[in-house]
């Protein structure tokens, strides 16, 4: 079932051996909580709101940082508001603070919709649909972008979830990734080129302790299997594993391992963000892995979470 909690919605899937629940916020079409059985897999957890860390929000029509809030499309220059004056960047797109409309509610599922229509800052009209569907061991997410206008436009999109496994701090978790490369960044956290994953302490397809990492970068050159999926894993000291999967349109996975995450109780601890996204930061200006969406075109990405005890 799906229960309306104001602008938050509680999804649940009842099973004989364990239940699966999630909390979705219409603000930013954000996923705030995912529980498999009694184990919380996301920050900030049940019924809490996104903080300045922007937990679980949808990023569109660009991801992460846009240098100086400036870009060009079809020869037209655009300026968008800065969200980080110190670094002179505009972060995470145009909808992370927007209230999405609820388009559909089904048992254990919800679809949220938002339209972008401001020619002063974006060159076309977009429809953004985000769908969440509980599964027997987690959740499946679909992001669908439709160009409703008559002009092509640059595009990147993704999600911004923060992970945990129960009460373990993220520095106690291990990560395993298929990435061959990491996108290095300058002091403004803007891309400056790819380097081998080992430069940042990662080893492809091997477990690495998050407590040994200090990283806020995009992982790329991911391996996609015969089903067109790339997988990343988190493991706790008890051997429980989160599997994050993403479809081929998400050519990047941003990894952020802050040791200064602020919990709802006012405590500070490690957290870890794993962000499926179609490009690295500032792709509007670098053109690296940038999508261009044509009038009438629909682009779709799928990602999800499963949990094994």
pLDDT, tens digit (0-9, with 9 covering 90-100), for 135-192: 999 999 999 999 999 999 999 999 999 999 999 999 999 999 999 999 999 999 999 9
Give me the sign of the Cα torsion angle 39, 100, 251, 191.
Answer: negative
Q: At residue 83, does pLDDT exceed 70?
A: yes
Q: Is the peptide bond before 200 cis (omega within 30 degrees of 0)?
A: no
The mean per-residue pLDDT over the stretch 260-285 comes to 92
Of 218, 273, 226, the closest CA to residue 250 belongs to 218
pLDDT of residue 5: 52
Q: At residue 125, does pLDDT exceed 80?
A: yes
The CA distance from 110 to 186, in Å, is 39
Report CA Rg, the chain.
18
More confident residue, 265 or 92: 92
Is the whole model's pTM more than 0.85, yes or no?
Answer: yes
The CA distance from 15 to 169, in Å, is 28
Q: What is the mean pLDDT of the chain?
A: 95
Give me the sign of the Cα torsion angle 121, 112, 261, 212.
Answer: negative
- Band (pLDDT 50/70/90 cuts) for residue 263 is confident
pLDDT (tens digit, 9 = 90+) per residue, 187-233?
999 999 999 999 999 999 999 999 999 999 999 999 999 999 999 99
- Band (pLDDT 50/70/90 cuts) for residue 45 is confident
Go through the domains of the chain in sequence order and give each one's CATH number. 2-308 (2.70.98.10)
The CA distance from 188 to 300, in Å, is 30
Percentage of the chain exceeding pLDDT 70: 97
Q: At residue 78, does pLDDT exceed 90?
A: yes
More confident residue, 106 or 145: 145
Tokens of 260: 């200064």
């Amino acid at each position: 079932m799906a229960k309306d909690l104001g602008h938050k919605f509680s999804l649940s899937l009842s099973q004989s051996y364990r239940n699966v629940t999630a909390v979705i916020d219409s603000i930013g079409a954000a996923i705030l909580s995912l529980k498999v059985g009694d184990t919380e897999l996301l920050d900030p957890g049940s019924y809490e709101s996104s903080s300045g860390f922007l937990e679980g929000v949808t990023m569109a029509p660009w991801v992460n940082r846009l240098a100086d809030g400036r870009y060009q499309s079809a020869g037209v220059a655009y300026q968008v508001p800065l969200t980080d004056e110190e670094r002179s960047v505009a972060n995470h797109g145009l909808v992370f603070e927007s209230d999405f409309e609820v388009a559909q509610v089904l048992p254990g599922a919800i679809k949220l919709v938002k339209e972008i229509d401001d020619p002063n800052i974006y060159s076309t009209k977009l429809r953004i649909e985000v769908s969440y569907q509980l599964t027997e061991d987690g959740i499946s997410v679909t992001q669908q972008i439709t160009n409703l206008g008559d002009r092509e436009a640059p595009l990147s999109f993704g999600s911004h979830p923060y992970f945990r496994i129960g009460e373990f701090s993220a520095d106690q978790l291990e990560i395993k990734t298929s990435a061959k490369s990491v996108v290095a960044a300058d002091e403004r956290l803007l891309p400056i080129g790819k380097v081998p994953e080992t430069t940042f302490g990662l080893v492809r397809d091997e477990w690495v302790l998050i407590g040994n990492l200090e990283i806020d970068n995009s992982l790329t050159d991911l391996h996609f299997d015969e089903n067109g999926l790339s997988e990343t894993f988190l493991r706790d000291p008890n051997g429980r594993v989160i599997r994050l999967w993403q479809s081929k349109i998400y050519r990047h996975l941003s990894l952020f391992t802050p040791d200064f995450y602020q919990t709802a109780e006012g405590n500070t601890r490690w957290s870890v963000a794993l962000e499926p996204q179609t490009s690295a930061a500032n792709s509007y200006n670098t053109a690296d892995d940038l999508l261009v969406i044509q009038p009438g075109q629909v682009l779709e990405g799928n990602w999800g979470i499963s949990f094994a005890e």
